[in-house]
Amino acid sequence: MPCKSCGSVNQRKFIGEIGIHLPGPKNIDKPVLWVFPEVVVCLDCGAAEFAVPEAELRQLAKGDAPTG
Ligand SMILES: [Zn+2]
């Protein structure tokens, strides 16, 4: 699938390590939700794309503190 930003097919898959924070000052003390998704990076323009794995996605959908 070509890059959504520039249309290039020069993309590679990597394993990402991404800490997701809940927004807002009241959540500043909440723990970070770590996800390790497959990340597709466009090697021409740098656009990156990933999907949050299902287990972590459920935690985000609850909108509550990640229990990590
Ligand atoms: Zn691109």
Cα(5) to ligand 1 centroid in Å equals: 5
Residue 62, helix vs strand vs coil: helix
CB 18 within 8 A of CB 50: yes
Spans of all domains in the chain: 11-62
Q: Give the helix, strand, coil percentages of the chain, each rounded to 5.
A: 20, 30, 55
pTM of the entire predicted model: 0.72
Cα(27) to ligand 1 centroid in Å equals: 34
Please write the tens of the pLDDT for every residue from 1-55. Answer: 899 999 999 999 999 999 998 888 888 888 899 999 999 999 999 999 999 999 9
